[in-house]
Each structure stands twice: as C-alpha cells, then as structure tokens.
Amino acid sequence: MSDLGPNFSSRPVLRINLKAIKANYKAIQSLVGKTTHVAAAVKADAYGLGAERVGRTLYGAGCRNFFVATAGEGKILRGSIGDNASIYVLNGPAPRDLTLYFGSNLKPVINSLVQARIWAEAASAAKHPPYSAIHIDTGINRLGFPMDELERLSKNKNLQEQLQFDLIMSHLACAPDKDNPANAAQLKAFRMAAAKLPLKPMSLTNTAGTYLGKPYHFQMVRPGIGLYGGISTTDPSQEKITPAVSLMAPVLQVKTLKAGESLGYNATFTATKDTKIAIVGAGYADGIPISASSNSDGYFGHATLQNKRAPILGRVSMDLTALDITHLKKTPRIGDWAEFLGGNLEEDAKSCQTLNYEMLTRLSSRARREYL
Amino acid sequence: MSDLGPNFSSRPVLRINLKAIKANYKAIQSLVGKTTHVAAAVKADAYGLGAERVGRTLYGAGCRNFFVATAGEGKILRGSIGDNASIYVLNGPAPRDLTLYFGSNLKPVINSLVQARIWAEAASAAKHPPYSAIHIDTGINRLGFPMDELERLSKNKNLQEQLQFDLIMSHLACAPDKDNPANAAQLKAFRMAAAKLPLKPMSLTNTAGTYLGKPYHFQMVRPGIGLYGGISTTDPSQEKITPAVSLMAPVLQVKTLKAGESLGYNATFTATKDTKIAIVGAGYADGIPISASSNSDGYFGHATLQNKRAPILGRVSMDLTALDITHLKKTPRIGDWAEFLGGNLEEDAKSCQTLNYEMLTRLSSRARREYL
C-alpha cells in the first residue's frame, strides 16, 4: 500500500498554536506599554479555539482579566484558570444566572438600569459579592448604558454603592478604520460619560482599537481576534500577529475526473480537462463554509497541500471537500493532511464573503483539538 | 421592574423538538412503504442537534441503521443507542480508527481499494469483525469506488470474502431536482455496478431521493435533513416535514435609535427615523450568520418576536444581534425570547445565501439544548 500515508484518523484536526497565542499577547502588551493591562476576550469558547486551554495559556503570559459573553462561559473558564484573575461577563446579569456569578466569582458587566437593579438586589443580599463593571454605550448602539440611563445612575449614589463597580468600559464601532471620525467621537463621549461616575480604571478598545494610539488605551485594552492570529484593521502592516489556527483534513481518496465529468452536489463543477482530485475529510460541519465552494466564475476557497494551493472544486459537503491536485508534483497519499485557514485566514474569509472572526467561531467540535 | 420578563438566563437556548423528528421519520417511512427500511444520517452530531438524543429518539421510532461520518461519532452514538442497531461510518476506515470500529462494533463504509485493504487486513486478524458496506461512486465523484476499482474488487473473491459487506450503497448528486437526468443515469449506473457484486441489500438515496419514486428506494433509504425539519427538494409541497429546531435568544436590552444614528460594527445601519431596537443574546458564534446582517439594500435575516417578524439591523455580532421592534405593539420585556430559524429555516438560509443544512450544522454548543 504505497499510496497509504502514515498512521492517520479520518477525523479532522484543529491545530492550535498556543505559543503563537502567547506571542500575540506579548506583542500587544509591547504595543500598549506597561502601564496598560492587556485583558483577553475569550468569549465564544475563545473564538472557537477552546477557552480552557487558551485561558490558561494567556494566564501564563500574565493576563489577569478575562471577558466572556455568558455566565456559563465564565464558570468553565474559572475552573481552568483558578481564582487569581477577574472574569467579566459581557452580556450582563440575568436572574437565572446569579448563582453562577456568586459560585464562580464572576463580575457582571452592567449594561443598563434594568441590569443594575437585578445585580444591586442580588449583591445586597450576598456577603462578599463580586465587583462589577459599568458599560457605557458611546455610539455602537449595542449593549451598554445609553446616556439618559447613565445620567440617572450618576445621580443615584445608593445604586452605585450597591453595584461596587471596579471598571468603566465602552466599545468602539469602527476601530478597524483609523481614519473614521467615529473613533475620536466615541473617545470623547467615553471621557465625558465616565466623568459622571466615580474615578475607576477605564477600558475602551478591542484589538483594532489598540492601533489607534495611546489615548485609546486607558488602563486596560481587551483584544480578542489579535490574540488568535487574526488581522483586525485595514492596515495589516502595523500588526505583529502570528497565525495560530489550522484546520487539517486527511486525504481520504484520490481520483481523476475526466473532461466533461461533474463533481459534488448539484454538479456545480464540470471538468474542462482531465483533473486529479483529492477528497478530504472535512466539510462545512467542520467550518469550511459552503461559500468557499467553487462556482462557474472560478475558484473560491482553497487548502494547502505540499506547500501548494489546492483550490476547492464543486460544492463543499457537510463532511467532505474536493480539492484540485492536478498541479501537484506528487500524488498525495491517503492520510496526508490538507491545511485550511492557517496563514490564509483573512484571504479565506474574504473569498467566503465573511470575516476572520466568523471563520474561527464556526469551527466545530468534531475536529480533534491539537495544541502546540 | 415591570420591564423585566420571567426568570431568564442570558444564555441562548436551542429548542429541539424530538416529537417533530419522530414524526418526520414516520412520514418518510410511510412514503417509502414497509418493504424499505428508513435509516438515519446522524453525522455531524445529527446536523448539530445532538446525535445522542436524536439517535435514541429515532431508535425509539424504529430506526435500526444509522450513518455517521467518523468512527469517533460512531462511538458516541453507540453509547447512546445500545447494541441492537447498525452504525455505518461513511468516511471509511483509517488505521488510527480501527480500535474504535472493533470496540464499538461500527461498520465501515468502504470507498476504495485502499480502504478495502486497510479493512481486510484488520478484519482478518479479528475474531468477530463488524460487517462493512461497499460504496460505489455512480457520478457524484466524491467518496466511493470508481468503476475501474469496482471491476478489480468484483474479480477479487478473496478480498470480497474478507470485507464481509452486508450493504451496497451509492449517493445521488442532483436528487433535489426531480427532472435532472443525472438521477436516472445514477440509478442505472448503480444497478449495473451492484450487479458485479454478490447480491446484498442496496441503498441509494438521501431525503431528497425518497421523493424520486419507488425505483430509487431499494431496501434502504438514508434521510438526514428531512428528519430534522429541513426541506430538501425544489418542490416543498410534496414534503410532509415538521420544523424541529429553533434558536431562542433572550432580549438583553431595549433602546431607541434616533434618526441619523448608526448601529453595530462599521455602523452599517443608519436609522432614517426613530427606531426601537432590541439587543438579543445570540450572534454568529451561536449560528446566526454574518450574512444575515442588514445592508444598505435592505434587511436580510430576521427573528420572530410576539409572532411578528423582527428584522436584523446592522452587522450580526459574535454574541449579540440587534432587531427592529419599532412595529411591535408591546415593548418586549428583558428576558423575552426572540426566535430564530423555526419555521423559517429555508427562508433564512436563502436570505443568508446558504442552505438549511449549513444553518443547522453551524449551530454552536454555547446554546443550552432544550429537548421537547
């Protein structure tokens, strides 16, 4: 069986480079300097990469403040990183989640007066309630105190006392684009709004915002995508980011399409000449979007095999993808690996009409996680 | 707090209607008649709905043949449904997976001579090896024996003996389109190819293929999407399918955009008039695609609130989505549920430029599974 590669499984592998994640953390820490703490957004299971392992890695790199979306995510993270770090829950307190907050010492991000009252009531009844954060909406119009509600909070010293917040934060809408005047407008609004509250550490930016310069950093920045090797701004040259994720799919079969033969569902690809293909064991259920399929206008997504591009042919299937390997010098063996994402994350996202963020978060749990 | 709804969590909920899945199984069984067994494709974690619970439900409905993609999936399913059913592994045997096949009594689908040799060698050394299936490629040009390899298998009685296959199968490329001549061509090719092998039960079709009529059914059909409430053909009127999945997201905050204000990342939506919005706790990390975002041409995706459509405004975020609720009679309370997917699965998929299959498989594990 000379066509059979090394000992392999038909299960795809998600290769996650923890050293790269650590290096990306250090790079952002260098960028913002020692007086600004680099927190980490590890919500959505650390953008699909595994919040427990990623959380421990970042803790090892010096991170002591983490952001998750839900209290359930916070509980899992707490179990992994231990007690010596803050975990903030961005989506804010909800009645059914309160036991999670107290049980795992999670800090709720308070986004509204309704959430403030939920938390104030619960915290008043507790002996040592966790601190909280106040999130001010300075223009993204997503979660966060609108200005009128912030006014009411600023006048209600009793409520402020009950909330015991240790951080005032906001979130930028247009940070990837340095020249967008919305950034300066949000910065100004944030300063003015925070001034209505008692003096606390402040935090405004995600990864992209760290590149907007010192005035945006305050006491804490909260990168996510940059830690995971994703480019976040319109000027990649300024970003010292190391790719951290590859989806590896084993070659399951090699065959030759004769000119005129079609391939895959709805026969969306027809060979114009004899074409050698590899069927690899990963599909859209693993995170290779259907939008990476080829169509009559040409190729879209691709994988890397033998350090060469292997374009996707036909429609990506749920568990399988067909690659054009006609141009490779050696026919791949069964069990050889085709690499998706990796250093091509941004290009892949673009060709799939989406963002690197979504390419990461949609990686499924079927692939075996392999941490380097 | 009159604006606060019932006891709620900020975690989204995936509501899976097992009764609907059972009803869909029965409907397909009625369609194909009693002489054809209805197997179930439960690969990719039962299209994202949870293979263990779904598998047990289908077993309870009478299903005794299941199809998964990888041996790892097979092992999990075996633990859930017990020993009295066949589990076929579509991606075929790989050296590192062999212990899983023998340990969990999984039947490999043999797609090529290479896979035949891998399995023959392993099975010969085992005392009671599982049976296998032979998968013939009749035109989809994905996995499966090409005709030249099938010829060689047909002449190698010794190899056939070692494989001990109990099923001969193939897979249709264009089944959704009744009038596509590729269907009849594959049917004919399948009959001719199978005739080269010893007489065994045969299986050709997925959900869509069951609507092509009796000649396509053979001894076994293998629906997937139809079980999970998805429409599979270009003629929905013929399909008696009950929706089975809703993604429920809690309302976390309600606010009003003034005319001229923008919303979300890159400010892709700007209100032309005062607009009431609800920020709900689910985003693309939960399976609401970024492609469901609104753009300057109009709305794309939507949710259902108070039995009315609530269009998505601006770009879907990782953990959050903004909905237009200006037209609702009552302002939703915090903690009220917005429903995604449900009866709108196909329409949603279309508006997101994808397929109902991908809408299901990309549902993440962050949402709490609630089985009805």
Residue A99: CATH number of its domain: 3.20.20.10
Alpha carbon of A353: minimum distance to chain B alpha carbons (Å): 8
Phi, psi of A75 (to 5 degrees): -60, -45
A265 is catalytic: yes
Catalytic residue among A22, A43, A75, A107: A43
Please check whether residues B48 and B164 belong to one and the same domain.
yes
Instruction: Classify residue A86 by burial, with Cβ atoms within 10 Å: 0-12, 13-18, 19+.
Output: middle
Helices (DSSP H) in chain A: which residue ranges?
18-32, 43-47, 51-60, 71-81, 98-104, 113-124, 147-155, 157-163, 181-194, 207-210, 345-351, 356-361
With respect to residue A333, please indicate whether it lies within any of the assigned structural domains: yes
Q: Say what percent of chain B tops pLDDT 90.
A: 91
Instruction: Kindly state whether A223 is in contact with chain B, defined as any CB-CB distance less than 8 angstroms.
Output: no
* Most A-contacting residue of B225, B319, B320, B354 (CB-CB within 10 A), to test interface: B319
Phi, psi of A44 (to 5 degrees): 50, 45
Q: In whole angstroms, what is the distance from residue B45 CA to residue B54 CA?
A: 9
Whether B343 shows a pLDDT value over 90: the answer reads no
Q: Which helix (H) or strand (E) covers residue B347, if one does?
A: helix B345-351
Q: Which amino acid is located at B253 in the chain? A: Q
With respect to residue A352, please indicate whether it lies within any of the assigned structural domains: yes
Whether B2 shows a pLDDT value over 70: the answer reads no
Q: In whole angstroms, what is the distance from residue A301 CA to residue B256 CA?
A: 40
Chain B positions in Cβ-Cβ contact with residue A294 (cut-off 8 Å): none
- What local confidence, expressed as pLDDT, does residue A4 receive? 76
A2 pLDDT band, cuts 50/70/90, is low
Place of tokens 């633990």: B79
Q: Which amino acid is located at A61 in the chain? A: A
Q: Which of A230, A258, A275 is the last residue of a domain?
A: A230
Please state the pTM of the whole predicted model.
0.96
Q: In whole angstroms, what is the distance from residue B238 CA to residue B224 CA?
A: 17
- What local confidence, expressed as pLDDT, does residue B8 receive? 87
Between residues B296 and B197, the one the model is more confident about: B197
Instruction: Kindly state whether B183 is in contact with chain A, defined as any CB-CB distance less than 8 angstroms.
Output: no
Paired with B16 in beta bridges are B245, B371
Active site residues of B: 43, 265
Place of tokens 């409905």: B61
Q: Hey, which bits of B314-354 come out as E strands?
A: 321-324, 337-341
Please check whether residues A251 and A332 belong to one and the same domain.
yes
Residue B39 near residue B66, CB atoms below 8 Å: yes
Mean pLDDT across chain B: 95
Any idea what DSSP says for residue B361?
A: H
Please check whether residues A265 and A222 belong to one and the same domain.
no
Place of tokens 């299937």: A317
Tens digits of residue pLDDT in A65-96: 999 999 999 999 999 999 999 999 999 999 99
Please check whether residues A166 and A103 belong to one and the same domain.
yes
Which of A45, A95, A290 lies closest to B354 in CB terms?
A290
Q: In whole angstroms, what is the distance from residue B255 CA to residue A182 CA?
A: 20
> Do A354 and B45 count as a contact with CB atoms less than 8 A apart?
no
B121 pLDDT band, cuts 50/70/90, is very high
A364 pLDDT band, cuts 50/70/90, is confident
Whether B149 shows a pLDDT value over 80: the answer reads yes
Tens digits of residue pLDDT in B160-186: 999 999 999 999 999 999 999 999 999
Domain that holds residue B339: 243-371
Instruction: Kindly state whether B141 is in contact with chain A, defined as any CB-CB distance less than 8 angstroms.
Output: yes
Which of B9, B117, B267 lies closest to A96 in CB terms?
B9
Whether B334 shows a pLDDT value over 70: the answer reads yes
With respect to residue B13, please indicate whether it lies within any of the assigned structural domains: no
Q: Say what percent of chain B tops pLDDT 70.
A: 99
Any idea what DSSP says for residue B5?
A: -
Chain B positions in Cβ-Cβ contact with residue A365 (cut-off 8 Å): 45, 365
With respect to residue B1, please indicate whether it lies within any of the assigned structural domains: no
Please check whether residues A176 and A92 belong to one and the same domain.
yes
Structural domain total, chain A: 2
Residue B257 near residue B275, CB atoms below 8 Å: yes
Domain of B326, CATH number, reads: 2.40.37.10
Instruction: Classify residue B333 by burial, with Cβ atoms within 10 Å: 0-12, 13-18, 19+.
Output: middle
Which of A69, A267, A320 lies closest to B319 in CB terms?
A69
How many residues in chain A? 372
The Cβ of residue B100 has, within 10 Å, a number of other Cβ atoms equal to 21
Question: What is the mean predicted confidence (pLDDT) over B10-39?
Answer: 97
With respect to residue A8, please indicate whether it lies within any of the assigned structural domains: no
Please check whether residues A120 and A146 belong to one and the same domain.
yes
